[in-house]
Structure 1
Amino acid sequence: MTQFSVVIPTLNEADNIDPLLTSLFALNLPQDSFEVIFVDDGSKDGTPEKVRAWEKKAQVRLIERTEKPDLTASILAGAAQAQSDVIVVMDADLSHPPEQLSAVVAPVLNDSHDVSIGSRYIPGGRTEGWPLHRQWLSRIGGSLARPLCDVNDATSGFFAFRRELASTISGKAHGYKILLELLMAGQGTLKVVEVPICFRDRTRGTSKLSFHHQWAYLQRLLALSGGATIHNAGRVILIGLLCALIDIGLFQILKSNGAGLAAAHIGSFLAAATVFLAFNSGGLFRSRQTNQLQWPRLGRIAAVGSIAMLSRGGLLSLLVNTWQVAPLWAILTATVTSVIICYLGSIFYIFPPKDNRPTVDTRWRVAAIGIVPFIILFRLIYLGETQLIPDEAYYWNYTQHMDLSFYDHPPMVAWLIWLGTAIAGNNEFGVRIGAFICGLVTMGFLYALAKNLYDKSTGIRTVLLLAVLPFTFATGFLMTTDAPVIAAWAATLYYMERALIANRSSAWLGMGIAFGLGILSKYTLGLLGAAALLFVLIDPAARRWLIRPHPYLAALLALLLFSPVIIWNLEHHWSSIMFQSSRIRGVGDDEFSVHLMLVNLLVLLTPTGLIAALLALLPGNKHGTGEFAHRRMLFVCLFTGVPLGIFLVLSIFDSLRFHWTAPLWLAIIPTMAWMMGQNFSPRSFANRIQAAWKPTIALSIAVYALIMHYVVLGIPGIPYPELMNRYFWREATIEIEKIAADVQQQTGQKPLVVGMSKWSVASALAFYNQHGEPMDIRARNMFGDSGAMYEVWHPSEPPVTRPIILVSMARHHLEHGRAGNDISKHLDQPGPVHSLIITREGKPLRFVYYRIAQGYSGL
């Protein structure tokens, strides 16, 4: 009985037929266990004759096609006439080793797998004799497909599969990579295995691979990914080139006439976009069937266009303002970038094909492949372009007074900033690069957690959510204490799952390290310890860890890593521990704030994200299937619910900081991502939330682009609001330096500059004073108010007769202290309060208030 059929497509392979068949029939296999079917695509070198000579002496058949040569069509034609239910595909040029035929077909024959792939790119596989450029092209082709089909060698031509799977391949399939068609058609349902093979370059005949084949592969990969086909591509390209010329030319005209960078590039982009839409308005705005405006499409066009326009603003700022690139070259780069964004947004989001809808899983994978790298590059571009917020400047000041720990926070944030600035310099990029890396670490650990809890597809969607949710976007960008604690929280969750659910004893070592680094970042991570204890008490399988040494050794390791904080507190009368203990109830205003906490969560997670998270926490909600479904649900609910419950209770009695609850949502994000890929009833509430993710993600990215562009370059016609008084300290510091220089010139004494806030003003002035005349900077604690670490760095200031310059973000801070005490009684000859408008390119940014006195009389 024929167990499997070997289908071999041919085109001018006469020299290889005899050695190939000789090798195949010399294998240690029964002669009647397999058949060989050659499908010839019109060979002119005698290939059919060579095959016919073998038909009389072995199980060999020839099929001759008269249609246009196409590898996919040839293989399908051979599979259709096969006598067996298992098909093996291989090339005729002996590049696929016949001696490994048995290894490739065995997993399908024994019913353990649906598809078996002879792979060059797994351990044990290799390629011999190929030139370097062919190896790179193959690697790139496989890498492009790998995120979609989860195999290392998706472009392999040597594979086995069940014949019934051929019917799932699209009728539009064409090209030379039928394996990709097969894998994508059965996405998520096939059991696939890769078997290592040694691929050798042909020694006879010539390769049929050409640029046309490679281009066809890319087009087909795009179509399988859910990308739309552009009709009248030539016309669209010509119009696009015209619009690009309009964009570049108008930008140059506006810049040469004195327009700012923002006004020039926004004006030129809008003009070019208007021309493009005018030429293509026929099918963009109105339905051809009803002639009604297509409002959803208009919204998608606006979202993609705004993302393209605003995103390139950061790139222009980096090229022109930071790297000093000529504006012409900068706008060329920016235009290409915006064209790519618009093109990809159009084919995948604005005009998704209706007749070629990939699975939900594939669509989200494609979204992740496009969005996650975009967000990473977006952050990277803006890291050094956006100025520090005062919190970041304050933590940078930690590095100027390095210690084992600090009064109001553990030392991890200082260590990361010290390392970043040591490598990249004392600039915004150097301060923030640690946050950027923490964001990548968070993605890595949460991807692994989601993959362990659910599957790889859920892991990919988890990374997508981490890229776009507001709280993880911000913590992967701003260098505050939240950046390392988010990364450590994700790592701790990963090792907790490995220890408590997977029962890996070695995971306790990782958990001890992650937990120790986490509490070196922020004490909030200790809430995971309470959640872990509750899980162990509830879950019978995990309860055995109570009588084993691993958890206690992990706790000891975490305590050892935390020892710098303990030593610092011993030396400073436990001031940090006492300060943090006083903050347990909140910020100290004794106000009911559950409603405010809800508002904070809407901002941190977006409304869609918050509803999805709460839906995932509902009692009775299933968290997948399988042996560990119940334990998975318990893990997710406890590690989210315990911290959330504690914060809810605290919010009843006091207000909480805006960002305190951010890390606790990491445990539920994998479940939210899992729900995104499920097939819910079309009218169910869960299905509506699932559908809401697309506009939520698009709107979030557009908002990030708008905010970043606004703070770096501004938006023409939109002034900065009063809340920006906490920002633009680079320009403000320049003005304060001028005032200090004038006072020193008039009095002959260097003034003492005092930031009249707890730490914000003094810290921002200190960071942005690096390039001017160094100023002697203090904080408001010299007047008896709280100054956080400034109370340690400058615990007191004796009376001085040199001038004092008080600087504040608000007028009243220069008249009265926080406790209402009169500032004037501590000053000699205090002058009036002055306001100073900070401008950039003639446009107002913010106000700064200052007051000059002739001396300080002490407390």
Structure 2
Amino acid sequence: MARPSAYVKFVTLWALLGAVKLWLAASLDLFGDEAFYAWEARHPAWAYSDLPAGTAWLAWLGMELGGPTPLGLRWPFLLMGAAIPWLLARIAARWFGAEAGWRAGILCLLMPLTGTLGVLALPDVPLTFATLLCLDAIAALLRGRERGAYALLAAGLVLGALSHYRFVVVLAAGLVGLLLVAEGRALLRRPALWGVLALGAAAWLPLGAWNLAHRGAGVGFQLVDRHPWAFHWDGAWFPLVQAVVVTPLLFVLLLWALVQVWRRWRRGEAGPWGLVLGAAGVPLLGLFVLGFFADAERVSFHWPLPAWLALMAVLPALGDGARSWSWSWSWRAAHGLAAAGLLATFVWLAAAAMPTWRSPLADRPLYPDNFSGWRELAVAVAHELDRLSPSTQVVADNFMPAAALAFHLRRRDIGVLDHPKNHKHGRAAQLALWGYVRDSLRKRPAPVLLVLEDGAVRPRELVDWYRQVCVLAGPLPPPVTVAVDDGRKRFLLFRLPAGAVPADAPCVTPALGAIDRPGQRVPRGDALVFEGWTMKDGAGVRRVEVLLGGEPVAEAMLGLPRPDVVDFWRGSTDPAQPDLGFRAELPAGSLAPGRYRLALRVHGGDGSVEVVGARWLRVD
């Protein structure tokens, strides 16, 4: 029986993955940044503080035609993501024939970065789509096929300018690629090309005008604020991170392809080698060097994706020229590893979409934090609003819960505090421009429901943030706690009545606490001794219960000295300090072997009851 052609394999795989992506796009709750883009879509503009307008416009189009649902938001991005493998196959086919094109398309479908592209409404989707439009158009022009190529290039340049500041890297790479080949240098002398480039440049004007009108806030964040611009060794992780996200063997083969492209260009061989060398080599080398000086806190593993796609277009043809047993083995193994990586990524996304799958990840680094809790928070806030005055205002501490609530509750009037996270992600200027930032809540003409995301700042900074909230809002009453995934993610809802807060009102913060002992695993049959600490500034702790699986199993003895806690949380106003420690004990044999969710129920001196310090305990 004849083996299926590469075309049949490509179409079958594309359809199968498309169905999975459609289900995920409909099932996943919004990623935190997606919610903000949806918020921007409700405020149409030519540019925003974090991005050009393209992502918000696509989100607006999606929700206008598909409704204000996750799938409604995502379907334009889903379509673009589905088109990207076809575009890559077309580019490779233009250079090396249809069979090589379909094989390149299969690689594009299997690599996790591109195989999942479009599931989320993120700017990398139009950015990648625009990059391939430009590469396809340039490839056609270099072969003398001008019909439609200039229009295609113009569309790619405009879409890229509207997608992200990072499209500048694509432009620089493309220019270098053209300069490396004689046909490219000849193309740069054609007036028609410069007319198209002028149109592409005009697409940047709204972003430039926005920055001029707002003191360069967007450019300042992208180029200055988010980068330390001082040497650090984090850039050394770049190859390892790329090997993981591209999948190891495919990463090695693509680097091998880059070396082969360079050699063929040096020998002056006919082919797309100079263009690919610029399109792939410039971003990879530039981003590798940049990694030693630039932002190491935010996610950037996806930045080199356009470079990998350019190399993917030539890899099958290069492999055909290096036919050997080792190449055949490497080719098959690369497909297998890429497929395994893609499957693992889909499983992780499916776990993020289903609480029963997501909850077991609560104490693991793979926990999908940015997908978690928004629906549960929206339900809890809606429930509270039903019990409060219709004039109640909702104020969230940072842009992520605010944007999620604006999406799920269909509200435009969600206020936001001046949170460090707003500045970290470049959203502070936009929130201020919309008038959503609340500088003070001490004089409240109407009741306020204040929403705090417990894990939005580093643990060491949490008490300081709570104190800042006290300065802004006055004493915080006992909160309603929204615990998601066994407490891994926690939101605190505070009902603040209308009226003015006295200037001398004491600062009362939410409770904090942790269980230091036992560790994560204990042997069956031993007595269980629980030791840790709790604190609540301004009110103190009256009582602490140890919870297993949500049920109280022991009452803690309070008042044990914990000078280390006082030293760590400097400036605490808990009246019991430095005696913030506790101890509780369960008799030997109380627990059967298994995995238990361990937590503390803290009763504050102000009458509040809060669950803190949740983590897992395994009894062997």
TM-score of the pair, normalised by structure 2: 0.70
Q: 1:779 to 1:474 in 2, by over 3 A?
A: farther
Question: Identity over aligned residues, as a percent?
Answer: 20
Once the two structures are TM-superposed, the CA of residue 388 in structure 1 deviates from its matched residue by: 1.1
Counterpart contact for 1:446–1:491, Cα < 8 Å: no
Aligned twin of 2:599: none
Question: Counterpart amino acid of 2:2?
Answer: L
Aligned pairs (5 A) from 1:44-193: none
1:472 and 2:250 matched: no
**Per-residue displacement from partner, 1:690-748 (whole Å, max 9, x unpaired)?**
12134224413432442243223356697132533432311221123223444x2xxx4
Distance 1:673 1:427, change over 3 A: farther
Q: Is the 8 A contact 2:395 2:448 kept in 1?
A: no
- Of residues 359, 365, 382, the one that matches 1:737 is 382
Partner of 1:672: 315
Once the 2 structures are TM-superposed, how far is the Cα of residue 636 of structure 1 from its aligned partner? 1.3
Q: 1:620 to 1:658 in 2, by over 3 A?
A: closer
- Which has the larger displacement, 553-562 or 717-726? 717-726
Counterpart amino acid of residue 313 in structure 2: P
2:278 is matched with 638
Matched with 2:137 is: 495
Matching of residue 720 in structure 1 with residue 361 in structure 2 = yes
- Which segments of 5 or more consecutive residues in structure 2 lack a partner in the other structure? 504-620
Is residue 406 of structure 2 the alignment partner of residue 766 of structure 1?
yes
Assess if the C-alpha contact under 8 Å between 1:461 and 1:673 holds in 2. yes
Is the Cα contact below 8 Å between 1:834 and 1:849 reproduced in 2? yes
Cα RMSD over matched residues? 3.4
Q: Is the 8 A contact 2:127 2:163 kept in 1?
A: yes
Q: Describe the superposition over 1:821-851 as per-residue Cα deviations: whole angstroms up to 9, x where unpaired.
A: 7321122222356643236xxx878433444
Distance 2:260 2:67 in 1: 51
SS of the aligned residue for 1:593 comes to helix
Q: Displacement of 1:639 after TM fit?
A: 0.5
Structure having the larger proportion of residues in helix = 1
For 1:310-335, what per-residue CA distance to the aligned partner results, in whole angstroms no more than 9, with x for missing partners?
xxxxxxxxxxxxxxxxxxxxxxxxxx
Q: Deviations over 1:732-766 (max 9, x none)?
A: 21123223444x2xxx4744333323x21211121
What's the CA shift for 1:593? 2.0
Contact 1:737 1:775 in 2 (8 A): no
| More displaced stretch, 535-544 vs 605-614 | 535-544
- 2:451–2:493 contact (8 Å) kept in structure 1: yes
**In 2, distance between residues paired with 1:811 and 1:507?**
47
Task: Return closer, same or farther for 1:687/1:587 CA change in 2, 3 Å cut-off.
Answer: farther
Name which of 480, 484, 490 aligns with 1:847.
Answer: 490
Cα distance change, pair 481–717 in 1 and its aligned pair in 2 (3 A):
closer
Specify the code of the residue in structure 2 equivalent to 1:822.
Q
- Kindly provide the amino acid, as one letter, of the partner of residue 351 in structure 2: Y
1:700 maps to 2:344: no
Residue 91 of structure 2 aligns to which amino acid in structure 1? L
Aligned residue-pair number = 485
Does structure 1 retain, via aligned residues, the 8 Å contact 2:414–2:436? no
* C-alpha spacing 1:490/1:537, structure 2 compared with 1 (3 Å): closer
1:426 is paired with a residue whose SS is: coil
- Match status 1:601 vs 2:242: yes
The whole-number CA distance in structure 2 between the counterparts of 1:407 and 1:508 is 31
Amino acid paired to 1:739 = E
CA deviation string 1:23-82 (max 9, x = no partner): xxxxxxxxxxxxxxxxxxxxxxxxxxxxxxxxxxxxxxxxxxxxxxxxxxxxxxxxxxxx
Q: 1:573 to 1:847 in 2, by over 3 A?
A: closer
Whole-angstrom distance in 2 between the partners of 1:428 and 1:777: 19
SS in 2 for 1:541: helix
- Taking a change above 3 Å as real, the CA distance of residues 579 and 665 of structure 1, as seen in their structure-2 partners, is same
Shift of 1:777: 1.7
Structure 2 counterpart of 1:374: 16
Alignment of 1:467-546 (within 5 A): 467-502=109-144, 504=146, 507-546=149-188
Note if contact 2:373-2:489 (Cα within 8 Å) is conserved in structure 1: yes
The amino acid of 1:576's aligned partner reads G
Q: Name the structure 2 match of 1:419.
A: 61
1:803 is aligned, of 436, 448, 453, to 448
2:477 to 825, 831, 836: 831
In the superposition, relative to structure 1, how do residues 783 and 413 fare at CA in structure 2: closer, same or farther (>3 Å)? Answer: closer
Q: 1:845 and 1:430, CA in 2 relative to 1: closer, same or farther beyond 3 A?
A: farther
Q: Give, in angstroms, the shift of residue 401 of structure 1.
A: 0.9
Corresponding residue number in structure 2 for 1:225? 3
1:753 has 2:401 as partner: no
Deviates more, 1:610-619 or 1:528-537: 528-537
Check whether the contact 2:421–2:456 (CA below 8 A) recurs between aligned residues: no
What do the CA deviations read for 1:350-394 (whole angstroms, capped 9, x no partner)? xxxxxxxxxxxx4x4443232121011211222211111111111
Larger Rg: 1
Does the aligned pair in 2 maintain the 1:623–1:632 contact within 8 Å?
Answer: no
Separation in 1, partners of 2:419, 2:353: 34
Q: Distance in 2 between matches of 1:623 and 1:820?
A: 61
Q: For residue 276 of structure 2, what is the amino acid of its counterpart?
A: V
Q: 2:222 is aligned with what amino acid?
A: Q
Cα gap change, 1:572 to 1:691, in 2 (>3 Å): same
SS at match of 1:646: helix
Contact kept? 2:280, 2:307, Cα under 8 Å: yes
- Shift, 1:503, TM fit: 6.6
Could you tell me which residue of structure 1 aligns to residue 98 of structure 2? 456
The alpha-carbon distance between structure 1 residues 486 and 369, as it changes in their structure 2 partners (threshold 3 A), is: same
**Whole-Å Cα distance in 2 between the matches of residues 497 and 461 of structure 1?**
18
Which of 750, 774, 777 lines up with 2:414 in the alignment? 777
Match of 2:305 in 1: 662
**Corresponding residue SS for 1:479:** coil
Aligned to 1:23: none
Question: How far off its partner does 1:511 sit?
Answer: 1.6
In structure 1, the residue corresponding to 2:89 is in which secondary structure?
helix
Q: Distance in 1 between matches of 2:257 and 2:17?
A: 26
Relative to structure 1, is the Cα distance of residues 530 and 812 closer, same or farther in structure 2, using a 3 angstrom cutoff?
Answer: closer
2:581 aligned residue: none
* Alpha-carbon distance between aligned partners in 2 of 1:858 and 1:432, rounded to the nearest angstrom: 47
- Structure-2 change in CA distance of 1:809 and 1:641 (3 Å): farther
> Is the CA contact 2:450–2:493 (under 8 Å) kept in the aligned structure 1?
yes
Secondary structure of 1:475's match? Answer: coil
Q: Which has the higher contact order (CA 8 A, sep 6+)?
A: 2
Q: TM-score, normalised by structure 1?
A: 0.52
Change (3 A) 1:377 1:804: closer
Q: Are positions 1:653 and 2:298 aligned together?
A: no
CA contact (8 A) 2:479 2:492 kept: yes
Is residue 790 from structure 1 mapped to residue 435 from structure 2 by the alignment? no
Hey, what does 2:519 align to over in structure 1? Answer: none
Distance 2:463 2:412 in 1: 23
